[in-house]
C-alpha cells in the first residue's frame, strides 16, 4: 500500500449496480483476531451463511463485558466540534475571547465588539481541531500535521462537491493514522485487552478488511467523492498521501461501517474493524456498544446469553416499525435486515403494533398486512427503493381480532393523515411556539389514540409523547411532563401480555426515560414537601412510588449497560438512595408503613428469574 503522489481514478467504481456479479461468499479467516478469545468470554466463528461472527463461549450473565476496542480512527461529530477533544475525546475547556461583531452576512460592524466562548486549546492554523489540554494537542501533532492543511479547506471542499464533511474528515483521520503507524503496520495484528486503559488502537491495516460496498453509490456520487478527495489529498504532505482509489475505499468503508458513540453527551464516529466484522446487527440485540473516553467501545451483554449464542448489537433505532428499520439499514448500511425479529411473520411479532392501525370495524385488533416478498437482491432495491411501495397496490390487510379486510392503500392514507398531523405539531415545537405545540400534540393524541385509530404502541404516538415531555418541561409544567414520561416508559416496555418487547428491557434509551422520570418525581416530592394536606400527601405518595420504581429500573439497567462502577450507574444509585430516604422520612412523618405494590417498572428492575442456561436464545442476524 505505497503512498502515491499521482492519485489514480478507479474507472470501475461507478458501474451500474444491477450488473455487478454477486461475490461468492467464502468462509473468512479468524486468525488475525483470535487473541481476543484469551481475554474475553467469546468464540470467533465463521460460516458461509453469516461470515465472521462472535458467539458466547459460555453462559453469560446480563452486563458481561465481551469486547473492548479502541477505534482505528475516529472523528468528533460536527455538532461536538468545539466541545470534544480531537485526540482523546474528553471534554474541552473553554475561554472567553473578545472580537469584532459581525452582521448576518459576516461583515464587521464598525466599533462593536462581542465576547464569545472558544476552546481553550485548538490548532491555530486550521482552527479545525480543539483539544482538552496543551499536552493532548502536542501528542496529536504528528497525526494532525498530516491533516492540518486539508482540514483547513475541508469545509469548502465538502460544500462545493456536496460530500458529507464528516466523510472527508474521517478519510483524513484514517490517513493521519496510517502515517503515524510504523512501516510494518499493514500486517500488524490487533492486540486485545480487557480494559480500556490498556486497549491498543486497532491497526490501520484492519480497516481495509472491511467491506466498502462502494458499488451502492451511483455514478455521480462517486464522481463527486472522487473530485473532493482528489482536492483534499493534494493538500496532504506527499509522504503521507494515499492513492485516490484507496481514499474512495476509505470513505466508503467509513460510511457503511462506522459506529456513532456518545461520550459524556458529546458524539464521535469511529471505525472499529473488529466489532464491525464480528457483531452483526439484530433488532433484538443481546449486546450493546458503549462509548468511553479515548474513543474506546465496550461491548456488553444486555441479557443473560446462553453459551454458543450469537452476540449481536443494533445499528438502528429499534423503536420504529420493521419496514422503517429495514429501510434505515438499507440506506445507511446497505443490507436488508434478516434478523429473527424481522423474519418473523408480522402477525406473531411485536412489530405489528409499531406502525399498527386499529381495525376500523371492531377497534380491538390491529390490521395485519404480511409482506409476501422477502428482499433477496438488494442491489435491485437500491436502484429503485420505490419498489417497496408498489408492493401494496391491490392488497388487503386483515384485522388480527375480527378478520375484517381493508385495502392496504386505505391504511396508508390513514397513516399519512397521522404523519401529517404529527409533523405539523412537531414543526410548531421546532419553531418554539410551545403552547401551541402542546395543544397540537395533545390533539394528535386525542384524534389518533383516543379515537382508536392507531395502536397505542404506534411509533408516531410514542414520538408525540416524547415531544410532550420536552414541551411540558420547557413550559415548567412538570406534573404533565411526568405523566407523559410515564406513558413513554410504559409503552417502551410494550404490552404486558406480549412475548417479546419492542426494545430490550435494559436499553440505553429506555434507561434514560426511566432516569428522567425518577428525577422529575423526586423534584416534585421536594417541591411539595411542605404541603401537609391530605391532597398534598397523596401527591407526594404517588410521586415517591413512581419515582422509586423508575429509579430502581434505571439503576438496574445502567448497571447492566455501563457496569456497576460506571459514573452513570453511580448517578442512578445516588438518586435512588435519595428517593428511598425521602420515602422513609415521609413514612415516619405520616406514620405510614405500607409496602408499595410492585409496578411493571419494578418488575423490569428485577433480575431475570431463570438461570442463564434456560434463557431464551437471543436473536442472531
Ligand X SMILES: C[S@@+](CC[C@H](N)C(=O)[O-])C[C@H]1O[C@@H](n2cnc3c(N)ncnc32)[C@H](O)[C@@H]1O
Interface residues with ligand X (CB under 6 A) are 28, 51-53, 210-211, 257, 276-277, 280-282, 333-335, 337-339, 621
Q: How far is the CB of 132 from ligand X (least distance, A)?
A: 31
Alpha helix positions (H), 126-210 = 134-139, 141-161, 165-180, 204-207
Nearer to ligand X, 167 or 282 (CB): 282
Q: Tell me if 8 sits within 8 A of 15, measured CB to CB.
A: no
Question: What is the DSSP code string of 553-610?
Answer: HHHHHHHHHH-TTSHHHHHHHHHHHHHHHHHHHHHHHHT--PPPPP-HHHHHHSPPSS
Q: What whole-number distance in Å separates Cα of residue 313 and Cα of residue 284?
A: 8
Q: What whole-number distance in Å separates Cα of residue 382 and Cα of residue 373?
A: 15
Nearer to ligand X, 360 or 500 (CB): 500
- Per-residue burial over 280-293, b if 16 or more Cβ lie within 10 Å, else e, is bbbbbbbbbbbbbe
3-state percent helix, strand, coil for the chain, nearest multiple of 5? 45, 15, 40
Output the residue with the shortest Cβ distance to ligand X: 51
Q: How far is the CB of 24 from ligand X (least distance, A)?
A: 13
Q: How far is the CB of 42 from ligand X (least distance, A)?
A: 14
Q: What whole-number distance in Å separates Cα of residue 112 and Cα of residue 102?
A: 8
Q: How far is the CB of 285 from ligand X (least distance, A)?
A: 10
Nearer to ligand X, 51 or 563 (CB): 51
Nine cell digits for residue 131: 483539544
Nearer to ligand X, 338 or 580 (CB): 338
Q: How far is the CB of 376 from ligand X (least distance, A)?
A: 11
Q: How far is the CB of 282 from ligand X (least distance, A)?
A: 6
Q: For residue 245, give Cα distances in angstroms to 110, 127, 156, 332, 341.
A: 49, 28, 22, 21, 38
Nearer to ligand X, 241 or 281 (CB): 281
Nine cell digits for residue 175: 490517513
Q: What whole-number distance in Å separates Cα of residue 288 and Cα of residue 66?
A: 10
Greatest Cα pair distance in the chain: 83
Q: How far is the CB of 330 from ligand X (least distance, A)?
A: 10
Q: How far is the CB of 34 from ligand X (least distance, A)?
A: 14
Q: What whole-number distance in Å separates Cα of residue 31 and Cα of residue 390?
A: 45
- Residue with cell string 411532563: 481
Q: How far is the CB of 601 from ligand X (least distance, A)?
A: 30
Nearer to ligand X, 53 or 169 (CB): 53
Nearer to ligand X, 40 or 210 (CB): 210
- Per-residue burial over 526-546, b if 16 or more Cβ lie within 10 Å, else e, is eeeeeeeeeeebebbbebbbb
End-to-end CA distance of the chain: 33
Q: How far is the CB of 203 from ligand X (least distance, A)?
A: 17
Nearer to ligand X, 287 or 572 (CB): 287
Nearer to ligand X, 284 or 303 (CB): 284
Nearer to ligand X, 68 or 210 (CB): 210
Amino acid at each position: 500500500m505505497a503512498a502515491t503522489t499521482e492519485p489514480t481514478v478507479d474507472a470501475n467504481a461507478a458501474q451500474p449496480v444491477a450488473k455487478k456479479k454477486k461475490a461468492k461468499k467464502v468462509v473468512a479467516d479468524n486468525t488475525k483476531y483470535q487473541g481476543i478469545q484469551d481475554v474475553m468470554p467469546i468464540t470467533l466463528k465463521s460460516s458461509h451463511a453469516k461470515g465472521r461472527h462472535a458467539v458466547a463461549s459460555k453462559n453469560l450473565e446480563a452486563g458481561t463485558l465481551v469486547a473492548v476496542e479502541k477505534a482505528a480512527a475516529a472523528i468528533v461529530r460536527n455538532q461536538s466540534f468545539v466541545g470534544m477533544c480531537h485526540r482523546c475525546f474528553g471534554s474541552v475547556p473553554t475561554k472567553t475571547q473578545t472580537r469584532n461583531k459581525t452582521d448576518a452576512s459576516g461583515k464587521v460592524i464598525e466599533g462593536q465588539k462581542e465576547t464569545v466562548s472558544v476552546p481553550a486549546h485548538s490548532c491555530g492554523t486550521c482552527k479545525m481541531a480543539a483539544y482538552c489540554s496543551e499536552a493532548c494537542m502536542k501528542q496529536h501533532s504528528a497525526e494532525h500535521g498530516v491533516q492540518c492543511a486539508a482540514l483547513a479547506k475541508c469545509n469548502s471542499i465538502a460544500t462545493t462537491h456536496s460530500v458529507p464533511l464528516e466523510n472527508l474528515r474521517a478519510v483524513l483521520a484514517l490517513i493521519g493514522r496510517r502515517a503515524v503507524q510504523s512501516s510494518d503496520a499493514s500486517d500488524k495484528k490487533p492486540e486485545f485487552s480487557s480494559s480500556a486503559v490498556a486497549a491498543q488502537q486497532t491497526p490501520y491495516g484492519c480497516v481495509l478488511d472491511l467491506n466498502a460496498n462502494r458499488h451502492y453509490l451511483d455514478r455521480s456520487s462517486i464522481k463527486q467523492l472522487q473530485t473532493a478527495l482528489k482536492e483534499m489529498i493534494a493538500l496532504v504532505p506527499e509522504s503521507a498521501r494515499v492513492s485516490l482509489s484507496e481514499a474512495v475505499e476509505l470513505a466508503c468503508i467509513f460510511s457503511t461501517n462506522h459506529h456513532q458513540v456518545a461520550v459524556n453527551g458529546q458524539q464521535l464516529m469511529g471505525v472499529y474493524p473488529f466489532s464491525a466484522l464480528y457483531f452483526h446487527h439484530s433488532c433484538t440485540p443481546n449486546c450493546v456498544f458503549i462509548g468511553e473516553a479515548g474513543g474506546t467501545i465496550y461491548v456488553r451483554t444486555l441479557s443473560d446469553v446462553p453459551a454458543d449464542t450469537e452476540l449481536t448489537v443494533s445499528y438502528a433505532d429499534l423503536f420504529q416499525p420493521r419496514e422503517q428499520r429495514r429501510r434505515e439499514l438499507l440506506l445507511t448500511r446497505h443490507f436488508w435486515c434478516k434478523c429473527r425479529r424481522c423474519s418473523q411473520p408480522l402477525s406473531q411479532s411485536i412489530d405489528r403494533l409499531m406502525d399498527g392501525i386499529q381495525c376500523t370495524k371492531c377497534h380491538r385488533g390491529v390490521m395485519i398486512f404480511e409482506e409476501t416478498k422477502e428482499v433477496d437482491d438488494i442491489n435491485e432495491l437500491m436502484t429503485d427503493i420505490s419498489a417497496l411501495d408498489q408492493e401494496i397496490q391491490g392488497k388487503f390487510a386483515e384485522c388480527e381480532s375480527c378478520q375484517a379486510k381493508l385495502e392496504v392503500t386505505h391504511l396508508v392514507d390513514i397513516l399519512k393523515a397521522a404523519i401529517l398531523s404529527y409533523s405539523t405539531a412537531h414543526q410548531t415545537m421546532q419553531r418554539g411556539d410551545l403552547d401551541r405545540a402542546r395543544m397540537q400534540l395533545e390533539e394528535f393524541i386525542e384524534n389518533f389514540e383516543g379515537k382508536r385509530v392507531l395502536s397505542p404502541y404506534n411509533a408516531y404516538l410514542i414520538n408525540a409523547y416524547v415531544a410532550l415531555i420536552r414541551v411540558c418541561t420547557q413550559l415548567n409544567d412538570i406534573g404533565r411532563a411526568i405523566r407523559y414520561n410515564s406513558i413513554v416508559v410504559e409503552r417502551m416496555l410494550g404490552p404486558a401480555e406480549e412475548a417479546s418487547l419492542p426494545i430490550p428491557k435494559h436499553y440505553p434509551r429506555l434507561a434514560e426515560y426511566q432516569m428522567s422520570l425518577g428525577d422529575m418525581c423526586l423534584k416534585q416530592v421536594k417541591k411539595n414537601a411542605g404541603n401537609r394536606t391530605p391532597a398534598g400527601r397523596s401527591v407526594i405518595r404517588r410521586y415517591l412510588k413512581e419515582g422509586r420504581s423508575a429509579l430502581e429500573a434505571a439503576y438496574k439497567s445502567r448497571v447492566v449497560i455501563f457496569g456497576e462502577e460506571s459514573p452513570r450507574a453511580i448517578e442512578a444509585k445516588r438518586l435512588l438512595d435519595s428517593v428511598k430516604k425521602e420515602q422513609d422520612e415521609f413514612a415516619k412523618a405520616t406514620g405510614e408503613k405500607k409496602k408499595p405494590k410492585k409496578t411493571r417498572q419494578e418488575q423490569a428492575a428485577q433480575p431475570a428469574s431463570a438461570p442463564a442456561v434456560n434463557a431464551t436464545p437471543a436473536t442472531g442476524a
